[in-house]
Amino acid sequence: MDVYLPVANLAVNGLVIVLLGGVTGILSGIFGVGGGFLTTPLMIFYGIPPTVAAASTATTITGASVSGLFAYSRRNGVDYQMGAVLVAGGIVGTLIGTGLFNLLQSIGQIDTVINVLYVVMLGSIGSVMGRESLQSLRAKGGAPKRAAKRRHHPLVSSLPMRWRFYRSGLYISPFAPLILGVGIGILTTLMGVGGGFILVPAMLYILGMSASVVVGTSLFQILFTTMAATMMHSLTTHAVDIVLAALLLLGSVTGAQVGAKIAVTAKPEILRLLLAAIVLVLAIAMAFQLGVRPREIYSVMPL
């Protein structure tokens, strides 16, 4: 089933795009990540321009986050106060990210920058995730380790004007989640990622949030940040392909519910190890693609 994408200016198999959206949704439901860090490079491999892939994926993550957020909200797994601060920072970050996107696009380097960022990001995430998953699997066979006491980073303690975040069990400065939200907003705009792959571990190990609300709060922040990023892309870069976004959204909304169910039953160590392997393969493939000289340096075609 071939479908024409007006902004990308090419025809694609609609079923393949829907399946890629399903991957986004399943990852969103299992790990509380938007899934864009895999969907965008997969679409680039499929032949969609990086700028269109990044801008359109942000739109898709919005739909996947809505579906996943409802699932976690029913379990009382969302800290809306913490989420509101993260969203405020995310909106500021999307404004900064849009400026950087336009600057790189004007000098003709946005595609290269997106690819390089993905190689660095996927390689780092895959390595860390794989190492931790293997350590967790080995620990299962030995004596059980005593759980470490949850505590926020010392830098967070030094920030002024503390607030109580009752649902997360924290008494910290709102500047910590605000700064974190700004960074996620920049990544969302530049790379079309939800930022949950950074946000979730940051909320656990830097902010010291309760694990019971981390995934749901991450989805809450991702929802509004990707909405802002989509609006900015639509108004400034004009890189959002609505047909591509609709196909991805069709798969992602269903996939988020499936992912939320898998997260309850499957072993998290096995899931993380599988995801780490996929991420590392993508990182190596993208690095190879960047370093190999193309067969055609340029092409001439009639207008």
Query: How far, in Å, are 6, 25, 112 from residue 82 at the CA level?
Result: 39, 23, 35
User: Which secondary structure element, helix H or strand E, spans residue 171, and what is its range?
Assistant: strand 170-172
Highest mean pLDDT among 64-73, 137-146, 207-216: 207-216
What mean pLDDT is predicted for residues 40-44? 77
Is-contact 83 217, C-beta < 8 A?
yes
* Banded pLDDT at 295 (limits 50, 70, 90): low
Report the alpha-carbon distance of residue 231 to residue 233 in Å, rounded: 5
Please determine, for residue 235, whether its predicted confidence score (pLDDT) is greater than 50: yes
**Prediction pTM value:** 0.66
Which single residue is written with the structure tokens 């965008």?
A: 40
- Cross-strand partners of 170: 165
Whether pLDDT at 67 is above 70: no
Encode pLDDT of 251-279 as tens digits: 777 777 777 777 667 666 677 777 778 77
pLDDT at 153: 62
pLDDT at 31: 63
CA dihedral 212, 215, 216, 222 (to 10 degrees): 160
The token pair at 87 is: 């969203």
Q: Tokens 């025809």 identify what position?
A: 11
DSSP 8-state secondary structure symbol assigned to residue 209: -
pLDDT at 147: 45
Q: Is the pLDDT assigned to residue 302 strictly greater than 50?
A: yes
**CA distance to 40, 52, 54, 177, per residue, from 238 (Å):** 17, 9, 12, 30
Pairing outcome for strands 170-172 and 163-165: antiparallel
Cβ-contact 195, 187 below 8 angstroms? yes
- The SS3 assignment for 2 reads strand
Instruction: Give the CA-trace dihedral at 226, 228, 234, 236, to 10 degrees.
Output: -120
Tokens representing 97 are 């990210």
- What are the tens digits of pLDDT across the range 88-136? 998 898 889 888 888 888 887 777 887 888 788 778 877 877 787 777 7
Q: Compute the average pLDDT of residues 79-91.
A: 88
Longest dimension (CA), the chain: 69
Return the bridge partners of 12, or none.
3
> Any idea which of 56-60, 131-135, 194-198 has the lowest mean pLDDT?
194-198
CA distances from 125 to 1, 6, 53, 66, 78 (A): 34, 33, 20, 25, 25
Mean pLDDT of the chain: 76
Angle between helices 175-191 and 211-232 (to 10 degrees): 50
